[in-house]
């Protein structure tokens, strides 16, 4: 096989034949089973790669699909399969806009007959089918059946690749951080569709980078609301706006790495999170966080904006209520607020599991139940702890005699004619002037502790200061 491919490579350099013809010659020289596999593969194309004048078989995905919810990928698939334009227009009118729409609509149809039978006779007549009442044996019907098979195959392959990516990229995190596998990331097209629907439903609401939820928060909320999934508590660490998420990502990107441990941490920890230890509870921070979290659910069509706003307003008013000083009461602190929020959302999740809608659960806690009042009730303000009295100083020893320096002797020493240095073993060493007045007692003084009083033109040199010279002589 390799010989035939090498002969093909040398022959192709001398002839101006087309690439397709070269591929046919190469496939013809391969074994029958391998050549059938290469030709009939619906997803991957096999092409020879030249390395040092030798051909090797390599694989490459043919227009690999990125998402089953992407309109661009579905349009690309229709063009690749050559589906007639009248059939494309009819499918768009029926609401088939993505690969998932086709794959999950015709679940019970094994051969695509349900999709072919759904097309009206008028569309087949416009295409030019001789018998519009029985189009199942036409080429256009075959392309529809192949479209359904391709959509199912793409859904299966993307599901396998996503599960493999999650299992291989899951890394151990610190015990204090959020230990959970991230849900699939929403595509930019899906996010844009959610934003357009939000602006259409609520034209008076302005979405900015400060009020738009981050891509991680939006993906988590969207994943929880999918069929087959259940609503769960979302930590405050990921309740970030798009601006906060972008700033933290850029800060991690530009952070200098000076050790192997920092490099390993940068590789494993890719998702920004808020550190609640550095957060100070304030009205501005709480209102902004509530707005971002509320918009995430409203963008995913989980609740109505007005009902969620009433719930947040009641939570905010109870948590940030000011109490007069004479009442000796205070509002909740940050840790108490986080615990109260966790209990409240546990109630919401329980109601959702009992077939309540999110709007009904929020209205129940806002207008009917007293859970918010009990969890966010005022706390007694504890008085500042009384500082213990300072211990009494040790009583003075009456027998201890305080040494009083002789001021007259020190004054006399300062007025005497003193030398500034002394020659010791042929080396000139400076004399300590503070020692002459009795003020230096350091054993590590760099100056010489000898008497500096001149005696016959030379320093006295004895082991006493100048203030004691008259007593020693």
Average pLDDT of 359-366?
95
What pLDDT, on the 0 to 100 scale, is given for residue 349? 94
The pLDDT of residue 194 is 93
Residue identified by tokens 């020190």 is: 410
465 neighbors 435 (Cβ within 8 angstroms)? yes
Q: What is the mean pLDDT of residues 307-327?
A: 93
pLDDT one-digit tens code per residue, 57-81: 333 334 566 778 888 888 888 888 8
What is the mean predicted confidence (pLDDT) over 324-338?
Answer: 92
**Bridge-partner residues for 59, per DSSP?**
46
Residue-level pLDDT at 109: 62
pLDDT in tens, 373-382: 999 999 998 8
Band (pLDDT 50/70/90 cuts) for residue 96 is confident
Residues 425 and 201: their CA atoms lie apart, in Å, by 101
pLDDT at 168 over 50: no
User: What's the whole-number mean pLDDT along residues 315-333?
Assistant: 92
Report in angstroms the alpha-carbon separations of 112 from 2, 102, 147, 347.
41, 10, 9, 45
**CA atoms of 328 and 359, how far apart (whole Å):** 37
Q: 337-355: per-residue pLDDT in tens?
A: 999 999 999 999 999 999 9
Distance, in Å, from the CA atom of 65 to the CA atom of 45, rounded to the nearest integer, reads 14
Question: Residue 351: enclosing H or E segment and its boundaries?
Answer: helix 334-353
The answer to whether residue 387 scores a pLDDT higher than 70 is: no
pLDDT digit string, tens, across residues 23-40: 443 444 444 433 443 334
Q: What is the mean pLDDT of residues 420-425?
A: 83
- Give pLDDT, residue 454: 83
Percent of the chain with pLDDT strictly greater than 90: 30
Q: Which residue has the higher pLDDT, 372 or 172?
A: 372
Whether the model pTM is above 0.75: no
pLDDT of residue 189: 92
Give the per-residue pLDDT at 256.
Answer: 66
Residue 126 has pLDDT above 80, yes or no: yes
Q: How far apart are CA 467 and CA 449, in angstroms?
A: 13
Q: What is the model's pLDDT at position 398?
A: 63
Q: Tokens 């390799």 identify what position?
A: 2
Phi first, then psi: give them for residue 151, nearest 5 degrees.
-60, -45
The more confidently predicted of residues 224 and 404 is: 224
Give the mean model confidence (pLDDT) for residues 97-104.
83
Q: Is the pLDDT of residue 320 over 50?
A: yes
Rounded alpha-carbon distances, angstroms, from residue 30 to 43, 44, 49? 20, 18, 16
- Asked if 342 and 334 touch (Cβ cutoff 8 Å), the reply is no
**Pick the residue with more confidence: 224 or 107?**
224
Instruction: Tell me the average pLDDT across 299-304.
Output: 94
pLDDT tens digit string along 200-220?
Answer: 999 999 999 999 999 999 999
Check whether 48 has a pLDDT greater than 50.
Answer: no
CA dist 373 and 314 (Å) reads 9
- Per-residue model confidence (pLDDT) at position 239: 93
> Average pLDDT of the chain?
76
Confidence of residue 4 (pLDDT cuts 50, 70, 90): very low
Q: List residues bridging with 423 in a β-sheet.
A: 428
Q: Check residue 174 and give its pLDDT.
A: 44
Which range in 10-14, 17-21, 66-70, 294-298 is most confidently predicted, on average pLDDT? 294-298
């Amino acid at each position: 096989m390799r010989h035939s491919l090498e002969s093909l490579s040398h022959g192709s350099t001398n002839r101006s034949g087309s690439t397709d013809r070269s591929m046919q010659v190469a496939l013809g020289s391969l074994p029958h089973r391998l050549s059938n596999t290469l030709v009939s593969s619906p997803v991957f194309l096999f092409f020879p790669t030249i390395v040092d004048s030798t051909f090797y078989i390599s694989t490459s995905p043919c227009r690999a699909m990125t998402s089953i919810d992407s309109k661009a990928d579905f349009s690309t698939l229709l063009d690749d399969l050559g589906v007639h334009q009248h059939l494309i227009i009819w499918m768009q009118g029926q609401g088939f806009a993505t690969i998932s729409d086709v794959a999950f609509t015709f679940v019970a149809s094994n051969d695509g007959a349900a999709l072919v039978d759904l097309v009206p006779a008028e569309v087949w007549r416009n295409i030019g089918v001789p018998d519009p009442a029985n189009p199942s044996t036409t080429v256009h019907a075959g392309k529809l059946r192949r479209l359904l098979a391709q959509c199912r195959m793409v859904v299966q392959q993307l599901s396998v690749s996503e599960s493999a990516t999650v299992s291989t990229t899951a890394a151990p995190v610190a015990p204090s951080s959020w230990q959970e596998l991230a849900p699939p990331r929403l595509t930019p097209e899906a996010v844009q569709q959610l934003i357009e629907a939000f602006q259409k439903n609520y034209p008076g609401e302005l979405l900015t980078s400060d009020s738009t939820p981050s891509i991680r928060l939006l993906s988590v909320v969207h994943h929880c609301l999918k069929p087959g999934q259940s609503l769960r508590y979302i930590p405050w660490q990921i309740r970030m706006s798009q601006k906060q998420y972008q700033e933290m990502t850029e800060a991690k990107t530009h952070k200098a790495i000076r050790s192997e441990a920092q490099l390993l941490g940068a590789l494993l920890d890719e998702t920004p999170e808020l550190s609640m230890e550095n957060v100070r509870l304030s009205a501005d921070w709480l209102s902004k966080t509530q707005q971002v979290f509320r918009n995430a659910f409203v963008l995913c069509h989980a609740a109505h904006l007005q009902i969620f706003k009433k719930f947040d307003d009641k939570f905010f008013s109870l948590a940030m209520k000011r109490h007069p000083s004479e009442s000796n009461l205070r509002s909740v602190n940050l840790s108490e607020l986080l615990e109260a929020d966790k209990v409240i959302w546990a109630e919401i999740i329980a109601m959702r599991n009992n077939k309540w809608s999110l709007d009904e659960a929020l209205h129940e806690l806002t207008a009917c139940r007293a859970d918010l009042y009990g969890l966010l009730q005022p706390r007694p303000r504890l008085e500042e702890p009384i500082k213990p009295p300072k211990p009494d100083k040790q009583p003075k020893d009456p027998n201890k005699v305080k040494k009083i320096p002789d001021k007259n002797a020190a004054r006399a020493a300062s007025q005497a004619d003193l030398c500034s240095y002394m020659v010791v073993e042929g080396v000139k060493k400076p004399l300590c002037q503070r020692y002459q007045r009795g003020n230096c007692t350091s054993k590590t003084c760099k100056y010489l502790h000898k008497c500096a009083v001149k005696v016959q033109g030379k320093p006295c040199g004895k082991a006493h200061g100048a203030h004691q010279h008259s007593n020693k002589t």
